Amino acid sequence: MKSACRNRMTCDSSEVKFAVRHIRAVLAFFLLTLCARAQQTYLGMDRNDYPGDANMATLHKTFAFTGYWLNNPPGANRNSWQSKRASLQAMGYGFLLLFNGREYAQLKASGNAARVGTNDAAAAVRAAEHEGFPKGAIIFLDQEQGGRMLPEQRAYIHAWLDGVVRAGYRGGVYCSGIPFRESAGVSVVTANDIRENAGSREIHFFISNDQCPPAPGCVFPKTAPNPGDSGVQFADAWQFAQSPRRPEMTAACRQTYAQDGNCYPPGSAPAAGLYVDVDSAKSADPSQARSK
């Protein structure tokens, strides 16, 4: 009896050890899968002018998502992206919704930056609804000027964010992630300044940092750079290449750009004029703007 009992215990012990090893292997695979999903990144593009449906279909071979202007892009007197949502979604694109904000001089001259922000938020919401983008989508306010935000800029940004959120959308900001030297020994990162002075507001960030490094230059890797590597760990998306390149920022990666200084996607000759800004994001649909 004792001998038989010992054999059974040995057998049970072997089965338990096997089961434990199997469970550990399954758990390890599960954790690795979760980790891979958590670290997955996607390549995207943005530009002020809509390239045309045929070009966008070709560009989707390289890019998972595209920037999409809800109003006139910087320096433009029209918005050529208008009414393109349905066709782009049918191609498989995700979206990075952009709304061109105001420069400091305009806000200062207005006498009421907060009111301008509220009005612009209403315009952004109307455009998003007209284009068919669902409630809950993230709209990124294009804040071109960097450094520490002045009172008028802060009032404008806060009013804009609050207006977008009240209407059922979510607010984001496109801004610089490059340290701006304010004075001797003092540097300010625009994204940090906006976030640290936002109170309880939830803000998503699309970071501009084309400085090499950390930016890799005009490249199109299968694994897109992690937005957190932009120098702003909380970034949702990262614009790491611009057209044309800024010489003072891109000296270390100038060979990745075309001779004319622009960034052209794979298979596009400079003569075609199809230059882009290159982005990465943690989602193939950074604004979560694809309609169901």
Q: In this structure, are 51 and 120 located in the same domain?
A: yes
Instruction: Report how far Cα 236 is from the mean position of its chain's Cα atoms.
Output: 5
Q: In this structure, are 80 and 27 located in the same domain?
A: no
Q: Is 14 among the domain residues? A: yes
Q: Is 289 among the domain residues? A: no
Q: Is 115 among the domain residues? A: yes
Which one, of 202, 228, 268, 218, lies nearest residue 41 by Cα?
Answer: 228
For 126-149, the pLDDT digits (tens) are 999 999 999 999 999 999 999 999
Q: Is 117 among the domain residues? A: yes
- 240: which 2 tokens? 């790491």
Q: In this structure, are 31 and 48 located in the same domain?
A: no
Q: Percent of the chain at pLDDT above 70?
A: 87
Q: 22-31, 33-42, 93-102, 132-141: lowest mean pLDDT where?
A: 22-31
Q: In this structure, are 121 and 230 located in the same domain?
A: yes
For 61-72, the pLDDT digits (tens) are 999 999 999 999
pLDDT band at 183 (very low <50, low <70, confident <90, very high): confident
Q: In this structure, are 153 and 33 located in the same domain?
A: no
For 47-58, the pLDDT digits (tens) are 999 999 999 999
Q: Is 169 among the domain residues? A: yes
pLDDT at position 269: 85
Q: In this structure, are 24 and 68 located in the same domain?
A: no
pLDDT at 112 over 90: yes
pLDDT at position 35: 44
pLDDT at position 31: 42
The one-letter code for the residue type at 53 is: D
pLDDT band at 292 (very low <50, low <70, confident <90, very high): confident
Calculate mean pLDDT across residues 145-169. Answer: 97
- Burial level of 233, CB count in 10 A (0-12/13-18/19+)? exposed
Q: In this structure, are residues 124 and 166 in contact, taking their beta carbons and an 8 Å threshold?
A: no
pLDDT at position 265: 95
Structural domain containing residue 118: 42-281
Q: Is 127 among the domain residues? A: yes
Calculate mean pLDDT across residues 174-187. Answer: 90
Q: Percent of the chain at pLDDT above 90?
A: 80
pLDDT at position 13: 54
Q: Is 287 among the domain residues? A: no
Give the total number of structural domains in the chain.
2
The one-letter code for the residue type at 45 is: M
Task: Quote the pTM value.
Answer: 0.85
CATH of the domain at 265: 3.20.20.80
Q: In this structure, are 29 and 50 located in the same domain?
A: no
Q: Is 121 among the domain residues? A: yes
Q: In this structure, are 112 and 248 located in the same domain?
A: yes
Q: In this structure, are 15 and 82 located in the same domain?
A: no
The CA-atom distances, in angstroms, between 261 and each of 210, 229, 242, 258 are 13, 24, 9, 5
Q: In this structure, are 66 and 196 located in the same domain?
A: yes
- 260: which 2 tokens? 């004319």
Give just the sign of the alpha carbon dihedral 254, 228, 188, 165: positive
Q: In this structure, are 29 and 116 located in the same domain?
A: no
For 82-99, the pLDDT digits (tens) are 999 999 999 999 999 999
pLDDT at position 14: 53
Residue holding tokens 């604004």? 287
pLDDT at position 18: 42
Which one, of 170, 67, 140, 156, lies nearest residue 103 by Cα?
Answer: 156
Q: In this structure, are 245 and 162 located in the same domain?
A: yes
